Amino acid sequence: MAKKGYRVIAEFSIHPIGEGTSVSKYVTKALKELKKARSLRLQVTPMATVIESEKLSNILSAVERAHESLFRMGARRVDFVLRVDDRRDKERRMEDKVKAVT
């Protein structure tokens, strides 16, 4: 586990395949599930949700619940992409990554 102070920053994008061209109902549900995990900081972007947490395991648990929730809504096939950036030589939060390049 990373030392106290370090944050894992990740990005999560999910959608069902075969439930119509509009998937916002499903993405809204997934986002609602992520929000239940109080320890996560979230930022919704046009292509994904950025997630910040002290522990990768918290992110993975939330992602798993979000994924499962789409099947409960009736989806038959669900795809997601999770990208994780875990840096432990320097404390930083999601805002710092944007500031560093703009």
Query: Residue numbers of the site for a second copy (CB under 8 A)?
Result: 1-2, 9-11, 13, 15, 17-24, 27-28, 31, 43-48, 50, 52, 56-57, 60, 63-64, 67-68, 71, 76-90, 94-95, 97-98, 100-102
Q: How far is the CB of 54 from a second copy (least distance, A)?
A: 14
Q: How far is the CB of 98 from a second copy (least distance, A)?
A: 5
The Cα–Cα gap between 94 and 42 comes to: 9
Q: How far is the CB of 101 from a second copy (least distance, A)?
A: 5
The residue among 1 and 38 lying less far from a second copy, judged by its C-beta, is 1
The residue among 28 and 38 lying less far from a second copy, judged by its C-beta, is 28
Judging by beta carbons within 10 Å of its beta carbon (0-12, 13-18, 19+), is residue 15 exposed, middle or buried?
Answer: middle
Contacts of 19 (CB under 8 A, 6+ apart): 26, 74, 75, 76
How far is CA 55 from each of CA 4, 30, 42, rounded to the nearest angstrom?
A: 10, 20, 14
